[in-house]
Chains A and B, each alone.
Chain A
Amino acid sequence: MNQNRPGEGTSSKVEEITDNSDRSDRSDRKLEHAPDANVVRNAGGEIATQARGANPDKHSGSAGGDPDDGSFSLVAISGNVETVIAERAPGTGQIAERGEQPLVSEQSLLTRADNGDITASLLLKELEEIRNQKLPDESEEQEIRKLLTKASKIYPAGSEETLSLSQPQNPALSKQAFSFSHSQNPVGAELNAEPPVSRDFRRDATAASDKAPPLTPQQTRIEKQFGVKIVINGDQAEYHLQAYGKDNLLFFAPKNDLKGSEKRLHEMVKAQEARLTAMYSVTFSTDTETAGYVLDANLEPTKEVAHCRAPRLDELIGIEAGLSHSAPSQFSASGKALEFVFIRAGQHHISGRPIGANYEYGEPPKVYMDPTTDTNVPTELDKVGNWGRSTEYQVVHELTHGAQERIGFRERSSPPHETIEEMFAHEAGWVRGKDKQFYLQGKNGDLYKCDLLDSTKWIKYRLDKTDNAVKIGAATSAQVRADALIMPPTDYMQNPKEEMSECLSAYRLGNHYRDSIKKYPNLYDMIRRIDQADINKGYPPDSSGNYQYLRADNGSLVKNPSWVDASKGNKHAKQH
C-alpha cells in the first residue's frame, strides 16, 4: 500500500523551490524536508569517532570485545572462574584483508576438487556460474578475480602441501583446540585439547563426510534439532557448535546418555532465548504453536495451518549476532517487539515462493523463518565463500524492513513531495516512470525493470523519442548489476525497497561490508542518515540535538558521550 502521508505540504510554510542542480545538495535539502527531517540528518563522522573512542562500553556488536578489531569471546563461568572456550582473534571481526598475495589458480582448485575438497568444488561451481552469466568482459574478469581472491583467503599461499591429504585442510575452517574445565560439570571429567578424531564442521558436512564414527539415527536427530555436531570419542560424545567462524565445544557426555544430553541442549536453547528476550525483548515460536494459515502465491490464506518449531541453538546465536547490528529495529513503530516464527520442515509460510525469511509488519511485527533457512550457517564468519546466507545476515536484512517502517520511508515530504524511498531510489540510480514503476538505470542509459514475482528476471528497456519505454531484451540480476549506473551492493535489488535494505544491511554489518556502498558518497551518506534516523526513533536526541546512540564502524551501537540525560542533567559519559 502506498503510504503517502496526507495532511502535509500545504501548511502555511511552503519551502522555496530552488534551482540548485547539485545532487548532493538536493539530497540534503530533501532529507531535511522529509517527515524525519530532525532525525535523518548528519551525524558527523568525527562525532561518531570521538564517541566511540570515549565510550567505555564499546563492544563488537556480536559479542564482547573491541569494536575496532571485531574480537569476541565465548566464556564459561564457574564460580568466580572464567574460562575462555572460544575467541575471535582481533581483526577477524570480518574476513581480514591480507596484503598482496598470489591468487589461487583455477588449476589448483581443480586439483583440490579432484581430491574431494567440497569447498574447491563449490568455488569452481561459482566460477562456472560467473562465466555462464555472459557478463561484459571487464565485469567478468572483475568477478573472477574477486572469486579467486576469496579462494586465496581460504587457501593461502603455502597451503599447497595439503593437497595430497585426503581430508581437506582449510585453516579458516580447521578444528580449533579448546581448553574447557568445569568443576561442576555433571560428567565430572576434564577435557583438555582437541579431540583425537578430525571432523569437518562445515555447513554441508555430514557424519559421512569425514572419518568420525557414524552416528546413530537418534544422534543425527539431535544434531538436526539443536543445530549442533556430535563427535563420538570412545565412550564419550562431544557436542560442538559451529559459530563465529569456529568450532565451539559445548560439553561432552557419555555417548549413550542421549536423554541427558538432549535435556541439556534444550536448557541451553531456553537459556539463550531468555537472554535474547531480556536483552532485545524479542520472542520465539515454540514446538506447539501454529503460525496461522499458509498463504498461497497471491498471499491469500489457504486451508493449511502452518506449524511452528522452536529455534535451534545455532539459529539463536545467529539471531543474536543479527540483533546486535540491528537494534532498535526489532521494535515496531508503536514499540511492540518482534517475534521470530520458525516454520516446521515440509511447510512454508508462503506456498510456492522460494523465500528464506520475510518480515511482516504488524503488532507485533514478525520475521518468518522458512525451512529454506534451515541450512543457514549462524553468522557471517561461518560462511564458506559466499554461498547462501547466514542467519545473522538474514536477521539484519529483515530488520532493515522494520527500520523502513519505523522511519516512514513511504511518507512524503513537503516539496518536492518525495518519500525517503524515492530519495534513496534517486541516489541509487533508479527512475520512476509514469506507470509509477521503478527502473534501474544502466551505464548507457538503458533501463531495467524486475519481474514482480521473480527477482532474478529483468526486462531491458530503451526510451524512444516520445519517452515510451520499449523492450529490447531480458537480463539476469548479475547482468543488470554489472551494467548499473550505480552498482547495487548485491544481486538482491529488484526494487529500491530491497536495495535500500541491502545497503542498510551492509552499513549495519560494518567494516568491509560498507566498501560496496562507500564508493558512492551520496548514497553512503544517505544510508548513514537513514540508519541514524531509525536509531533516533527509539533513542531520541537530547534537547541540543546530540544523538543518544551512534552506529560504530563495526555496526554495533555505541552511546554518545555528548548526549545529555535530561533526567540527570549531565553527560552520560563515564569518567575513567
Chain B
Amino acid sequence: MRNSTRNLLVALLLLSQFSCVSSNCLAEETLPPPKPLRTIDDTAIRAAYSGPKYRKEVHKLNWQPHDGWNGLVIGKSTISDAENKFGKAEKSYTSGPGGTQWVFKAPIRMWISDSNHVINAIEVYVCELFVEQTPATVEDAHTMFGPLKQVDVIEGCTKESSLKRPGLTVHARSMDKTAQVTTLFFSND
C-alpha cells in the first residue's frame, strides 16, 4: 500500500513538470474557467412570427419556380427590377459561377449575371421584415412551399441537411418540425 502511494506520488510529480519548471508557477498558468458564452437572442423574431399577421400567411401557396419570390423571377428579372423593389444594391467581390453577388440593405443577396444582368439566384434571410413572405419553421415551410424533400449533403465528417424542391432550397437550424428556418434560396438549379 505504502509502495503504491509512493509510486503514485512519483508519477504525479514527474508528469506535473511537463508544463512548468517551478512548482509554484503552475497555479498562475492554470487558466481560470471561462465564462459561458452569450446565447442567441431570438425573442424579436419569435414574437414577430407568432403574431396574426404571420399566421394569416401560413397556407399552401401552390408555389412554382416561375412564381419567383416577391415579384422577382429567376432567369427573367434583372438587377434593376430588384433595385426598384429593395433599393440600391452593391456589387460584392469577384465574379463566380452564376455571376456576381449583389447585396442589399434588406437581408437579401442575389447572384446577377455580369453579361445580361439577369438574376440567377436569390438568397433571403428569414427575418421580421419578410414576415409575410417567409416561413418561420420547417413545418410552415412544408405547408407554404411544399412538397419539400430533405436532402443531406455530406462533406468530410459533417452532414448538412436542407429541404429542397426544384427552384427552391430551404435551410433551417435543424430538420425538426419546429426548428427555425434561416434562409430561402431561389435558383434555377
**B61 CB-CB contact with A under 8 Å:** no
Chain B binding surface SS class:
mixed
**Which of A2-10, A135-143, A164-172 is the interface stretch?**
A2-10
Does A467 lie within 8 Å of B98, measured CB to CB? Answer: yes
> A408–B41 Cα gap in the complex (Å)?
13
Are A271 and B161 interface neighbours, CB within 8 A?
Answer: no
Contact A78 B125 (CB under 8 A): no
B17 touches A77 (CB 8 A): yes
- The answer to whether A115 has its CB under 8 Å from any CB of chain B is no
For B162, list chain A residues within 8 Å (CB).
Answer: 1-2
Partner among B22, B35, B103, B183 whose Cβ is within 8 Å of the Cβ of A538: B35
Chain B 69-100 per-residue mask, 1 if CB under 8 angstroms from chain A, else 0: 00000000000000000001010111111110
Identify which of residues 1-23 in chain A touch chain B, using a CB-to-CB cut-off of 8 Å. Answer: 1-10, 14, 17, 19
| Contact A5-B182, Cβ < 8 Å, known A14-B105, A417-B103, A431-B96 | yes
**A393 contact set on B, CB distance < 8 A:** none
A447 touches B30 (CB 8 A): no
User: Cβ of B18 and Cβ of A3 under 8 Å apart?
Assistant: no
A74/B17 contact (C-beta < 8 A), A17-B90, A268-B11, A416-B90 known: yes
Whether A278 is near chain B, meaning CB under 8 Å from some CB there, is yes
CB under 8 Å from chain A, chain B span 28-66? 28-37, 39-42, 44-45
A186–B6 CB distance below 8 A: yes
**Contact partner, A415, options B7, B9, B105, Cβ 8 Å:** B105
Q: Which residue of B lies closest to A449 (CB)?
A: B97
| Chain B residue total in the interface (Cβ 8 A) | 91
Contact between B33 and A281 (Cβ–Cβ < 8 Å)?
yes
CA distance A243 to B17 in the complex (A): 13
Docked-complex contact B125 and A6, CB < 8 angstroms: yes
B127 touching A447 by the CB < 8 A rule? no
Nearest opposing residue in chain B for A316, CB measure: B15
A24 to B12, CA, bound (A): 50
Q: In chain B, residues 131-158, which have Cβ atoms closer than 8 Å to a Cβ of chain A? A: 152-158
B90 near A268: Cβ-Cβ < 8 Å: no
Q: From B31, which residue of chain A is reached at the shortest CB distance?
A: A327
Q: Which residues of B contact A468 (CB under 8 A)?
A: 97-98
Contacts of B92 in A (CB 8 A): 416
CB of B180 to closest CB in A, whole Å: 6
- Contact call A272/B15, Cβ cutoff below 8 A: yes
Among the 9-residue stretches A89-97, A331-339, A515-523, the one with 4 or more Cβ atoms under 8 Å from chain B is A331-339
From residue A443, how far is it (CB to closest CB) to chain B in Å? Answer: 13
Cβ < 8 Å to B, chain A residues 399-426: 406, 408, 411-412, 415-417, 426
Query: Given that A77-B13, A267-B7, A467-B98 are contacting pairs, would A8 and B114 also be in contact in the complex, using a CB cutoff of 8 Å?
Result: no
B36, B93, B106, B157: the one contacting A431 at CB < 8 Å is: B93
**Chain B residues whose CB sits within 8 angstroms of the CB of A76 once the complex forms:** 10, 13-14, 17
Report chain A residues within 8 Å CB of B173: 1, 3
Chain B residues in contact with chain A, CB under 8 A?
3-4, 6-23, 25, 28-37, 39-42, 44-45, 88, 90, 92-99, 101, 103-109, 111, 113-116, 120-121, 123, 125-129, 152-162, 169, 171-174, 180-183, 185, 187, 189
